[in-house]
Amino acid sequence: MEPFTQHTGVAAPLDRADVDTDQIIPKQFLKRVERTGYGQYLFWDWRMTPEGKERPDFVLNQTPYAGASILVTRDNFGCGSSREHAAWALRDYGIRAVLAPSFADIFRENADQNGIAALELAPEDIAVLLERAEREAPLRLTVDAELGTVSDADGVVARFQLDDFRRTCLTKGLDRIGLTLQHVDEIDSYERKRWPALAR
């Protein structure tokens, strides 16, 4: 997994609560058997007309947000379906960090697994950033996972907490299966206790 330590990019405001993964990537794009190539379908119904033209009213289609890599949004981002395709689509599109007051549990885990920094900021900070991302577009922010800070050109504008485990996984890009397999002896011993006859 690609590590996430620090990232600087343009912030796009998506001023909605409860953005579900069906919006992030609709079902018709879940039929592929690969992990890549989903970016073109990100926010499909919001981003494109039924005829396949870009909708000028959607934030990511607007000139100041071209190439935006930080999404600022409201509560409960990524709710609904567990589809990791949502994280793959965001990453493939070029989104490296999502800032919100809260995330749905499964989405946060999927983001972690794909080197997307899903960071919880105080609701007041989100409100300010949503407003600034629109008024000062293109607003460039720097997200630092080690320091737990979001900064603009003048300095720190918000702080966030990451527990040690998440921060280490994110900043080192750790392979979670590899991490678990370091404890394979303990898995073996658990299995021997529960299934004494199990050959291993």
Partner 1 sequence: MSQRNGGSGPRTLVEKIWERNLVRAGDGEPDLMYVDLHLVHEVTSPQAFEGLVLAGRKVRRPDLTFATVDHNVPTTDRSLPILDQLSKRQLDVLEENAERFGIRLLDIDDPRQGIVHVIGPELGLTRPGMIIVCGDSHTSTHGAFGALAFGIGTSEVEHVLATQCISQRRPRSMELLLEGTPPAGITAKDLILAVIGQIGVSGGGGHVVEYRGEAIRALSMEERMTICNMSIEAGARAGMISPDQTTLDYMRGRELGPSDDELDVLAPEWRRLATDDEAKFDRTVRIDVSALEPQVTWGTNPGMVVPVSGVVPDPRSFEDAAAREGAERALAYMGLQAGVPIESIEIDRVFIGSCTNGRIGDLREAARIVEGRKVHPRVHAMVVPGSTSVKRQAEAEGLDRVFKEAGFEWREAGCSMCLGMNPDILSPGERCASTSNRNFEGRQGRGGRTHLVSPVMAAAAAVHGHFTDPRGLA
Binding site for partner 1 (CB under 8 A): 15-18, 20, 22-23, 26-28, 30-35, 45, 50, 74-76, 79-84, 87, 102, 104-106, 109-110, 113-114, 163-165, 176-177, 179-181, 183-184, 186-187, 190-191, 194
- Separation between Cα atoms, residue 46 and residue 199, nearest integer Å: 53
Residue 198 CB, nearest approach to partner 1 (Å): 9
Helix (H) or strand (E) holding 109: helix 105-113
Q: Give the nearest distance from C-beta 104 to partner 1 in angstroms.
A: 6
In the chain, the DSSP E strands lie at 6-14, 70-73, 97-100, 117-120, 140-144, 149-152, 155-159
Q: Which is nearer to partner 1, 32 or 172 (CB)?
A: 32
Nearer to partner 1 by C-beta: 99 or 151? 99
| Complex with partner 1: residue 97 or 106, whichever CB lies closer | 106
Q: Which is nearer to partner 1, 30 or 157 (CB)?
A: 30
| Minimum distance from residue 158 beta carbon to partner 1 (Å) | 18
β-pairing, 149-152 with 155-159? antiparallel
Q: How far is CA 151 from CA 8, 10, 21, 138, in A?
A: 9, 12, 28, 14
Coil/strand/helix, residue 164: helix
